[in-house]
């Protein structure tokens, strides 16, 4: 998508230890893939924009998810403490937990800034990933590619979702009648 008007070939590296569903997304959106064997050509590749729409479908947090309501920016510190405690309990390394806590801080702050309090943080396991799911009352993002690239102009804002995408294994953004949902996924240790 980013290079659609440019005559170049681009190699998109994927970590082969990612969860199978994430690897499948990479495979399904490319015309050809290269693994340990020869190049595998696809007769069809799924439209990445269509896939983004599919990923944007909102999934409710499971029963039993730990939930924290944040009504003001000062309460975001409670969310960071929750992420540190639950991330460590899930077996994530301290540096990864710090990264996720920073991503949650950015996304939760955006939810409070662009919606009405409270914003909710749900923390739970989802198969091979650990998820921090931020739910705010905002109306969603106009651009499905938001956060895929850093802001084009230097600014003191606009980096939150881009930063979250750099720090987490995967980030899903969706909107429903209750607001905007941002799910931050990180791969749990085997």
Residue 57 within any structural domain of the chain = no
Residues of the chain with pLDDT under 70: 1-3, 19, 21-22, 49, 51-56, 142-145, 147-148, 154-158
Residue-level pLDDT at 158: 67
What pTM, to 2 d.p., does this model score? Answer: 0.74
- Specify whether 32 is located in the same domain as 86: no
Query: 99 and 173, same structural domain?
Result: yes
Q: What is the pLDDT of residues 112-138, one digit of tens each?
A: 988 889 999 999 999 889 999 999 988
Residues 100 and 142 in one domain: yes
Structural domain harbouring 121? 66-187
Q: Please check whether residue 10 lies inside any domain of the structure.
A: yes
Task: Indicate whether 18 belongs to any domain.
Answer: yes
What does the pLDDT read at residue 80?
A: 96
pLDDT at 157: 64
Within a domain: 6 = yes
Q: Are residue 24 and residue 76 in the same domain, yes or no? A: no
**What is the per-residue pLDDT for 13?**
74
CA-nearest of 134, 136, 130, 166 to 148 is 166
The CATH number of the domain holding residue 138 is 3.30.565.10
- For the beta sheet containing 119-126, the strands, ordered from the edge strand earlier in sequence to the opposite edge, are 66-70, 119-126, 129-136, 179-187, 170-176
Angle at the Cα of 166 from the Cα atoms of 41 and 72, rounded to 5 degrees: 140
* Domain count for the chain: 2
What pLDDT, on the 0 to 100 scale, is given for residue 66? 96
């Amino acid at each position: 998508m980013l290079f659609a008007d440019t005559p170049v070939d681009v190699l998109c590296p994927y970590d082969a230890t990612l969860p199978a569903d994430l690897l499948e997304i990479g495979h399904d959106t490319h015309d050809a893939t290269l693994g340990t064997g020869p190049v595998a050509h696809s007769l069809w590749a799924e439209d990445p924009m269509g896939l983004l729409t599919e990923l944007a479908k909102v999934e409710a947090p499971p029963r039993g998810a730990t939930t924290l309501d944040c009504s003001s920016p000062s309460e975001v510190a409670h969310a960071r403490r929750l992420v540190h405690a639950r991330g460590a309990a899930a077996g994530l390394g301290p540096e990864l937990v710090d990264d996720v806590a920073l991503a949650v801080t950015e996304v939760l702050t955006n939810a409070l800034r662009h919606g009405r309090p409270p914003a909710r943080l749900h923390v739970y396991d989802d198969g091979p990933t650990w998820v921090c799911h931020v739910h705010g009352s905002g109306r969603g993002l106009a651009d499905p590619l938001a956060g895929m690239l850093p802001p084009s102009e230097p600014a003191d804002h606009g980096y939150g979702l881009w930063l979250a995408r750099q720090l987490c294994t995967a980030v899903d953004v969706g909107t429903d009648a209750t607001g905007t949902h941002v799910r931050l996924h990180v791969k749990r240790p085997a």
